[in-house]
């Protein structure tokens, strides 16, 4: 009988704790959920091989091989990518600097070897598509948390996984997307799906995270796909040979390195 009472007490405690966790989770605002998704630990630096596959509406593909590096300097995160193949894009490089300062926009540069010139990406060009892919230059940067107003639309369970569904509406009425809607896992706050709506409120693109892995203790996206629903075109991104916290030197993230290449 004593055992039954202890078991019942434990069951009641688990039930109360479970209810408290659910209640706490339900009280998260859309902004708090997006904040947790934005600020998942990523390590001090990362090196990886990226395969970018472009697929048109006829199913024809173009494959691009890229080497990329990312490093967090505290108040700024810098990334650089070098195109290795095919020949028509080889030695092209792209660099992005994202600042913690909410008043500072990303700085971006692209090096075009045919012109032997580094071009700075202006704010007017952020909506242009990057190297024929379905990602804009703006997509390749980091959106500031308070650039949008975030609203929790609903909670949803898909294939046994619980999600928050959050709508983010830009405060800048001239921004390229009228809104985005993101599906974020409740258990680890990884965003697994994101819908992008154009200026007319029509669905434009869908980003799907196909796979993420625990690498050196960090949840890392290794397979993603961006589909342009209006053009029936897709871009598949796969990461391999991922290495985290290897001590990438600061000199890797310079215009000189962009021109010098890998």
What superfamily in CATH does domain 43-260 come from?
Answer: Lipoprotein localisation LolA/LolB/LppX (2.50.20.10)
- Give me the tens of pLDDT residue by residue for the chain, a chain 262 residues long: 333 333 333 333 334 344 444 544 458 999 999 999 999 999 999 999 999 999 999 999 999 999 999 999 999 999 999 999 999 999 999 999 999 998 999 999 999 999 999 999 999 999 999 999 999 999 999 899 999 999 999 999 999 999 999 999 999 999 999 999 999 999 999 999 999 999 999 999 999 999 999 999 999 999 999 999 999 999 999 999 999 999 999 999 999 999 998 8
- Condensed to tens digits (0 to 9), the pLDDT of residues 165-175 reads 999 999 999 99
CB 16 within 8 A of CB 8: no
Distance CA 108, CA 127 (A): 13
C-alpha distances (whole Å) from 186 to each of 11, 15, 157, 164, 252 are 23, 19, 10, 6, 36
CB 221 within 8 A of CB 22: no
Residue 248 region by backbone torsions, left for phi larger than 0, else alpha for psi between -120 and 50, else beta: beta
- Condensed to tens digits (0 to 9), the pLDDT of residues 217-257 reads 999 999 999 999 999 999 999 999 999 999 999 999 999 99
The span from the first CA to the last CA of the chain, in angstroms, equals 72
Domain spans, the chain: 43-260
**Alpha-helical regions (H) of the chain:** 2-26, 30-38, 137-140, 255-260
Extract the tokens encoding 88. 């028509």
């Amino acid at each position: 009988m004593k055992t039954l009472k202890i078991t019942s007490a434990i069951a009641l405690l688990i039930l109360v704790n479970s209810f408290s966790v659910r209640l706490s989770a339900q009280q998260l605002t859309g902004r708090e959920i997006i904040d947790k998704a934005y600020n998942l630990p990523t390590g001090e630096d990362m090196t990886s091989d990226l395969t970018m596959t472009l697929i048109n509406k006829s199913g024809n593909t173009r494959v691009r091989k890229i080497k990329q590096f990312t490093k967090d300097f505290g108040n700024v995160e810098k990334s650089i990518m070098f195109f290795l193949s095919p020949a028509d894009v080889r030695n092209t490089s792209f660099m992005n600097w994202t600042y913690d300062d909410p008043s500072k926009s990303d700085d971006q540069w692209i090096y075009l070897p045919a012109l032997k010139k580094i071009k700075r990406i202006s704010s007017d060009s952020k909506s242009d598509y990057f190297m024929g892919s379905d990602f804009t230059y703006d997509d390749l940067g980091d959106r500031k948390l308070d650039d949008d107003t975030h609203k929790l639309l609903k909670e949803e369970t898909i294939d046994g996984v619980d999600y928050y569904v959050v709508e983010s509406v830009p405060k800048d009425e001239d921004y390229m997307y009228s809104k985005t809607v993101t599906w974020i896992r409740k258990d680890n706050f990884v965003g697994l799906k994101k819908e992008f709506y154009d200026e007319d409120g029509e669905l434009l693109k869908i980003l799907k995270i196909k796979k993420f892995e625990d690498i050196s203790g960090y949840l890392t996206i290794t397979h993603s796909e961006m589909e342009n629903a209006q053009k029936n075109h897709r871009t598949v991104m796969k990461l391999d040979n991922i290495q985290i916290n290897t001590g990438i030197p600061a000199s890797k993230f310079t215009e000189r390195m962009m021109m010098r290449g890998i």
